[in-house]
Amino acid sequence: MPYLDHAATTPMLPEAIAAMTGQLGRVGNPSSLHAPGRHARRVVEESREIIAAAFGARPSEVIFTSGGTEADNLAVKGLYWRGRAQGRNRVVASAVEHHAVLDAVHWLAEHEGAEVVLLPPDRHGRIAPETLAEALTDDTALVTVMWANNEVGTIQPVAELAELARAGGVPFHSDAVQAAGVLDVRLDGGGGPAPDALTISAHKLGGPLGVGALLLAKGVDPTPVLHGGGQERDVRSGTLDTPAIAGFAAAVEAATSRREESARRLAALRDDLIARVRAAVPDAVLNGDPVDRLPGNAHFAFPGCEGDALLMLLDAQGIACSTGSACSAGVAQPSHVLLAMGLASEQARGSLRFSLGHTSTPEDLTPLIEALPPAVERARRAGLT
């Protein structure tokens, strides 16, 4: 049955499975000096080179982490602390960031005395460069704006935003977890304006869970969040997971080698999905930028529905998707992304995200389109009781 939640995690690519399982039976800490350790180190460094080449970085600029959340926290907290040591106390972030960034920013405000400025998006979730320009001050320690939104799929004008931050002498971080592997994400900007730090995560592009990386431009050295053995440029301590890193590199190499072809295929499939959902449920509202959006993302609001109820009705039919809301202590909360975009609370609570990936086919759409109208009708009736 259809799996339409690739934005949450996508199945591992065969190349990644082969690379990871090939290392699982071997022993060796990559920090050890004996032969098994040297073998593990070689695997790690060759993987580092592959990932660096794919994302326009030097191998020394790839800092391995346990995933996107750790990488985001290292960038946000570490760069803020570095800036504060230089007398800078302001953090500028978009209001539509993933919680791994947004919660780290709020933590800095609550516990470290940071002055936080949240940039409001337009109705499509896009941050206008002039909005950032107005927020930049001499005491800004960090700007963080995601490459593409994980909920509504809107792609941000990263090059323009990075150029503004650089002109002000402010480090610019971008959470590229959703964009890596499907968009042309590069730390060097392809010769144009570029971020100083990029977050990527393996399991979003066909690699294993539990491994990711923070790409840090040369000379950008955040204060460490973890302390220990000093691995990873003294920025991130901890024993490296050699099998996971091997799988990560294999997934990156495979995904980026066919990125353009995959993006075209997914965009066509996404457009077909959008058209068929609109035909099946005429009052469904597409959220996010109608043009500059991730190729596999279709995010809809269904008026009169609770998203959680609609999700469970579709799940009962074997269709996996996700809501546009987060749950806290068992109480459904409207998505902060949708509220920042100006949606009413009721509309925000009635949204679903359908996300496509490398295993998606046109045949995945038919069961959804057949199940969606009766599920919407039932969810609306439930909302009236």
pLDDT of residue 385: 55
pLDDT in tens, 160-189: 999 999 999 999 999 999 999 999 999 998
On whether the CB atoms of residues 214 and 57 are closer than 8 A, the answer is: no
Per DSSP, the residues of 49-62 read: HHHHHHTT--GGGE
pLDDT of residue 1: 79
Q: Residue holding tokens 């959680």?
A: 308
Task: Kindly report the pTM of this predicted structure.
Answer: 0.95
pLDDT of residue 333: 81
pLDDT in tens, 308-334: 999 999 999 999 999 854 444 345 688
Q: Is 281 left (phi over 0), alpha (psi -120 to 50) or beta?
A: beta
How many CA atoms within 13 Å lie on the side-chain side of 364?
21
Q: Residue holding tokens 């691995």?
A: 231
Here the tokens at position 349 are 């609570």
Assign 3-class secondary structure to 142-160. Answer: EEECCCECCCCCEECCHHH
pLDDT in tens, 242-301: 999 999 999 999 999 999 999 999 999 999 999 999 999 999 999 999 999 999 999 999
pLDDT of residue 279: 98
Does domain 14-257 correspond to CATH entry 3.40.640.10? yes
99 to 95, 128, 163, 219, 284: CA distances (angstroms):
10, 21, 25, 27, 26
- pLDDT above 90 for 352: yes
Q: What is the mean pLDDT of the chain?
A: 95
Q: How does residue 360 score in pLDDT terms, banded at 50, 70 and 90?
A: very high
CA-based torsion, 315, 341, 198, 261: positive or negative = positive
Cα–Cα dist 247/221, whole Å: 27
- pLDDT above 60 for 8: yes
CATH superfamily of 259-384: Aspartate Aminotransferase, domain 1 (3.90.1150.10)
pLDDT in tens, 79-107: 999 999 999 999 999 999 999 999 999 99
pLDDT of residue 324: 59
Q: C-alpha 285: how far from its chain's center?
A: 23
pLDDT in tens, 190-249: 878 899 999 999 999 999 999 999 999 999 999 999 999 999 999 999 999 999 999 999
Cα–Cα dist 318/195, whole Å: 40
Here the tokens at position 357 are 């990936």
Cα–Cα dist 34/135, whole Å: 52
pLDDT in tens, 145-162: 999 999 999 999 999 999
Here the tokens at position 305 are 């529905």
- pLDDT above 50 for 110: yes
What is the DSSP pairing of strand 212-216 with strand 285-287? unpaired
Cα–Cα dist 176/320, whole Å: 24
57 to 50, 124, 167, 180: CA distances (angstroms):
10, 31, 21, 13
What are the residue boundaries of the structural domains of the chain, listed by start? 14-257, 259-384
Q: Residue holding tokens 């979003």?
A: 204
Q: Is 332 helix (H, G, I), strand (E, B) or coil?
A: strand
Dihedral pair phi/psi, residue 182, rounded to 5°: -120, -20
On whether the CB atoms of residues 114 and 88 are closer than 8 A, the answer is: no
What is the DSSP pairing of strand 115-119 with strand 140-144? unpaired
pLDDT of residue 384: 62
**Residues with catalytic function:** 327
Identify the burial level of 49 via C-beta atoms within 10 angstroms of its C-beta, where 0-12 means exposed, 13-18 middle and 19 or more buried.
middle
Q: Residue holding tokens 């099946």?
A: 280
Choose between 323 and 46: higher pLDDT. Answer: 46
78 to 112, 214, 224, 297: CA distances (angstroms):
12, 12, 6, 31
